[in-house]
Amino acid sequence: MHTGLDQKDFKIIELLQKDGRMPNTVIAKEVGISEATVR
C-alpha cells in the first residue's frame, strides 16, 4: 500500500536533516502535530 508523503512528512524530514537528534516533542511542536504521531 502506497500512501505517499504529505507536507507534514516533508517538514519532519527537513527538521531531522538539520538536526538528526531533535527530540520528538520539538518536532511535534514545530509541525503542529502530537508527539505520538511523530513517533
What total of structural domains would you count in the chain? 1
Residue 1 inside a domain? The answer is no
pLDDT for residue 1: 60
Does 22 map to a domain?
yes
Tens digits of residue pLDDT in 1-39: 667 999 999 999 999 999 999 999 999 999 999 999 999
**Rounded CA gap, 28 and 38, in Å?**
6
- Check: pTM over 0.75? Answer yes or no: yes
CA dihedral sign, ordered 32, 8, 22, 30: negative
In this predicted structure, what is the pLDDT of residue 3? 77
The pLDDT of residue 35 is 97
In a domain, 26, yes or no: yes
Residue 12 lies in a domain: yes
